[in-house]
Amino acid sequence: MAYAALLSLSRTTGEIILDQDRYSISRNKKQQIRSIYEPFIFLQEFLEDFPEKANILDGRIRDLAYEAEHIIESFILMEARSHWWNVLGVKSKLKWQIRKIRKETNSITREVMIIKNNSAVAVQLGASSSAAAGSPSRSAPIIKISYMVGLHEDLLTIKSRLCGESPNLEVIPIVGMGGIGKTTLAKCVYDDPLKVQRFDIRVWVTVSQDYNADVVVSALLASMEEFDKERSEESKDRSKEEKELPGAKVHKILKGRRYLLVMDDIWSTDAWDDVRIILPDDGNGSRVMLTTRETDVAAYACRLSCPHKMRFMDEAQSWNLLQQKVFAHQDCPPELENIGKEIARSCKGLPLAIVVVAGLLSAVSTNVASWSEIARNVNSVTIGGQFENILSLSYTHLPHYLRPCFLYMGMFPEDCEVRVSKLTKLWVAEGFLRRLKTLNRSEALEEVAEEFLEDLVKRNLVLVTKRKCDGRIKSCSLHDLMRDLCIRKANEEKFLVNFSSGLPVKGRKNQRRVSVAPSGLPYLSELYGLTIHTILCFHGISVANKLEGFRLLRVLDAGNVYVHSLPDQLFDLFYLAYLAVYYPGRIPTAISKLRNLETLSLRAKNDWRSFRFYLTCLPQEIWRMPRLRHLVFYGMLPNPEGITAASLENLQTLSIVSHTMCSERILRMIPNLKKLEIDCSDAKIFLNNLVHLRQLEDLKLRSSLRIVLHQKDDFTFPKSLRKLTLSRVALPILGRR
């Protein structure tokens, strides 16, 4: 994952060079750091401009970027700790390390220059050879599902749209993730005898990822060979016939005929534009069907109606399909029915997975022992070979800036509903959203993160589990088989290690991100801590007391794991940007040593039903942490009296705090707050100072007891407010206008 490594290096270097308050180092040292980073700017631009060529050098660029960042981080850490003997030790190695980095970057840069210089020639040669072949290049071959189990309603819907009353040319996109049955559905409609009679001409062309306009048009013409010969005979005396372009020929063949065109496996709007321009619309009821994994492509091609969204099979449909593929027209033996249903459920409603497993079941003995063995290993059966190739296409088609965001989903447990509010904060802390050409500086990084997530959803890689009332995503997840593929890819690219996945780990040195569950805790000690930047803990496992050696940690999420005390080593994590712990006690003043902290989430033992609350006590020093963007706890902000230059200007999220903190002075010290959650349990409440929060968009008022704000003068909401949530709090009736 070279691009993620370069983004991380870019963030680290940029902050050190530009932020004098946090990194008070000499101009000469900054110049040394800049000299390490500058060659990587060229390599990052290469990955952005030539994504299809990047795989050749991806591993080397990734490892070198990580090594350069490690050198810089270690040097700055020694400077920050002011251990002169350590600084001297690092300095003695620094010149040698810089020379080594430069030598390798120069070598890679020369190879990049050769690739860039030859790319134009390679593209031309590729296009010529493809055109000569007369058919479009294909991706991984599609496994045909011969049975329409679970697709009956889809079939009726598509047939109805094909035979609609509108005489205009209509486009019917079929969209869904890889392996869900899009091509199968389109093929069944295409071969339907009634549709054969309805349309004068039917054309099927597979577009695929390796799209080339000339190849696709040539393939269209080749599939109309019979009609092309008829037209050629009629006009063989015309001298201009030989000079006619393929696109013009396609248009003339289709002109005046009612046609059905299927464009299978389309990935880009350009592919549709290049074909749409040559399609006549004669008002005779012609139709075009598209199959795609990209929701944006489907919506672009079909602007007047909704694309047809494929659904996962339910358990009954999954079992019926498995039976038919294994036993054809025979019944399943009774002793295999329960284990067979378990295998079908494991495929999570994905038809392609069911077909792959059915193929294996057909080849083994029909007994409980053989089927039980497959049931235990169903994921390893489906994630492999042809099936993996098909799902991998969606990943390889991702732009580089989305790949780390997708792979990061592999950090979470199986069947986990990931809260978007948490996911976006993690992406920001990891630095995935920095220095992107697409980044609008007027937008908060978390907003850009939500846009990236929506993009992954539209590409059918991530599933939406819940949406908010305004339509934004509230939580998301991965299909189990997509998650296995995600973790496998992440492991191959040394992006993360998930010890609870059950998949083998490819090397335990130089790892960057670790997801730890109970089964994975023993392996944590085997990892080389100096390279680890992220640790996520789940299911009762905490590493809060095992931080020795993880000195370059940026993200520590132990929010679901209760800890009795916070170790001193925690406050030595100089680079820590995200900290989530389950700790209801007093936070020590040493928290201010975490100069880079952006998210602080302190979960406490709160039970709103029994009205028992445990307050988290923050020290005054919290006001000396200007980089804080999100502060989540239960309690109240400390009095800033006596704290010089106290301000949290970057703070965007604050919850759950007592209403007593809503003084004008405190609110003016958090001027850019966007989301605020207040405990209004006290019956005497005055919230009219909220008007000073001119950026506030989301306000939640909650109480342990049901209360009513009796006077309208008790509150004044800012004009920027978009969302108001009341929990056991009622506003007064203000009367009718």
**Confidence (pLDDT) at 685:** 62
Higher-confidence position of 395 and 628: 628
Going through 331-392 in order, the beta strands assigned E by DSSP cover none
Contact call for residues 539 and 413 (beta carbons, < 8 A)? yes
Q: Looking at the structure, do residues 608 and 675 belong to the same domain, yes or no?
A: yes
* Calpha distance 277→272 (Å, rounded): 9
**Does residue 304 share a domain with residue 159?**
yes
Residue holding tokens 């020694």?
78
CA 678-679-682 angle, to 5 degrees, is 130
- What is the band of 567 on the pLDDT scale with cuts at 50, 70, 90? confident
User: What does each C-alpha distance from 163 to 187, 200, 303, 395 come to in angstroms?
Assistant: 16, 14, 19, 36
- The pLDDT value given to residue 177: 87
Residue 411 above 90 pLDDT? yes
Are 405 and 364 in the same domain?
no
* Greatest mean pLDDT range, 415-429, 470-484, 553-567: 415-429
User: Does the residue 138 lie in any domain?
Assistant: no
The predicted pLDDT at position 676 comes to: 94
Q: Give counts: helices (H), strands (E), the chain.
A: 24, 19
Q: Is 421 found in the same domain as 275? A: no
Band of residue 125 on the pLDDT scale cut at 50, 70, 90: very low
- Check pLDDT > 90 for residue 628: yes
Which carries the bigger pLDDT value, residue 249 or residue 215? 249
Please tell me the number of Cα atoms within 13 Å of 299 on its side-chain side: 5
The total number of structural domains that make up the chain: 5
Is the pLDDT score of 553 beyond 80? yes
Split at pLDDT 50, 70, 90, the class of 145 is very low
Query: Is the bond leading into 266 cis (omega within 30 degrees of zero)?
Result: no
State whether 650 and 704 are in the same domain: yes
Q: Where does the pLDDT of residue 579 fall: very low under 50, low under 70, confident under 90, or very high at 90 and above?
A: very high
The residue type found at 391 is L
Share of the chain above pLDDT 70, in %: 79
Domain at 174, CATH number: 3.40.50.300
- Separation of alpha carbons 304 and 294, rounded Å: 17
Which pLDDT value is given to residue 420? 95
Least reliable range by pLDDT among 539-543, 597-601, 677-681? 539-543
Q: Which band of pLDDT confidence, cut at 50, 70 and 90, is reported for residue 205?
A: confident
Joined together, the tokens standing for residue 472 give: 């934004």
If pLDDT is split at 50, 70 and 90, which confidence band does 338 have?
A: very high
**DSSP readout, 167-205?**
-S-EEEEEE--TTSSHHHHHHHHHT-HHHHHH-SEEEEE
Task: Please write the tens of the pLDDT for every residue from 424-454.
Answer: 999 999 989 864 555 555 568 899 999 999 9
DSSP 98-110: HHHHHHHHHHHHH
Q: How confident is the model at residue 408 (pLDDT cuts 50, 70, 90)?
A: very high
pLDDT interval class at 687 (50, 70, 90)? confident
Specify burial of residue 413 (Cβ count, 10 A radius: 0-12, 13-18, 19+): middle
pLDDT score, position 525: 62
Confidence check: pLDDT of 82 > 60: no
Cα angle value 392/393/395 (rounded, 5°): 65
- Cα 165 from Cα 673, distance rounded (Å): 54
User: Would you state the pLDDT for residue 425?
Assistant: 95
If asked whether residues 298 and 162 sit together in one domain, one would say yes
The pLDDT of 185-198, averaged and rounded, is: 86
| Residues 419, 320 share a domain | no
At residue 131 the predicted structure's pLDDT band, cuts being 50, 70 and 90, is: very low
**In the prediction, which pLDDT does 141 show?**
34
Q: What's the CATH number where 107 sits?
A: 1.20.5
Mean pLDDT of 624-649: 84
Same domain for 328 and 295:
no
The CA–CA distances, whole Å, from 735 to 89, 524, 655 equal 74, 62, 31
Domain-located, residue 590: no
The answer as to whether 144 is a domain residue is no
What pLDDT does 48 receive?
77
In this prediction, residue 129 carries a pLDDT of 38
Of the residues 333, 366, 387, the one at which a domain ends: 387
pLDDT tens digits for 6-20? 888 888 887 777 666
Q: Is 347 inside a domain boundary?
A: yes
CATH number of the domain bearing residue 737: 3.80.10
Integer CA distances (angstroms), 616 to 545, 589, 632, 653, in order:
20, 13, 10, 17
Question: Which of 309, 326, 359 is at the close of a domain?
Answer: 309
Residue at 168 is within a domain: yes
Q: 423, 452, 482 — which closes off a domain? A: 482
Arithmetic mean of pLDDT over the chain: 80
For residue 350, what are the CA distances in angstroms to 391, 432, 455, 484? 11, 31, 22, 14
> Among 265-274, 464-473, 479-488, 534-543, which stretch is predicted with the lowest mean pLDDT?
534-543
Rounded CA-CA distance 655/31 in Å is 41
Q: How far apart are CA 312 and CA 317, in angstroms?
A: 9
Same domain, 288 and 340: no
> Which has the higher per-residue pLDDT, 320 or 238?
320
pLDDT at 485 over 60: yes
Whole-angstrom Cα Rg for the chain = 30
pLDDT at residue number 383: 62
Determine the pLDDT at residue 33: 81
Q: Is residue 640 part of a domain?
A: yes
Sign of the C-alpha dihedral, residues 409, 413, 414, 420? negative
Task: Please indicate, yes or no, if residue 54 is contained in any of the structural domains.
Answer: yes
Q: Per-residue pLDDT averaged across 207-212, rounded?
A: 74
Tens digit of each residue's pLDDT (9 = 90 or more) over 489-532: 898 888 998 876 555 555 556 788 988 875 555 566 666 667 88
Judge if 189 and 294 occupy the same domain. yes
Task: State residue 611's pLDDT score.
Answer: 43
112 and 11, same domain (yes or no):
yes
Q: Residue 405 is part of a domain; what is its CATH number?
A: 1.10.10
| Residue among 272, 324, 279 at smallest CA distance from 299 | 272
Distance CA 457, CA 447 (A): 15
* Domain limits for position 463: 398-482
Confidence at residue 544, expressed as pLDDT on a 0 to 100 scale: 62
DSSP annotation of 675: E
The sign of the dihedral angle between the CA atoms of 145, 148, 149, 152 is: positive
The answer on pLDDT for 557 being more than 80 is yes
The beta strand positions in 52-192, using DSSP E, are 170-175
Calculate ∠ Cα 580-586-591, nearest 5°.
55
In a domain, 539, yes or no: no
Average pLDDT of the segment spanning 167-175: 92
Regarding whether 172 and 44 lie in a shared domain, the answer is no
How far apart, in whole angstroms, are the C-alpha atoms of residue 217 and residue 208? Answer: 13
What's the pLDDT tens digit per position in 349-370?
Answer: 888 888 878 877 887 788 888 8
Residue range 451-463: mean pLDDT, rounded? 89
pLDDT computed for residue 380 by the predictor = 66
pLDDT beyond 60 at 51 = yes
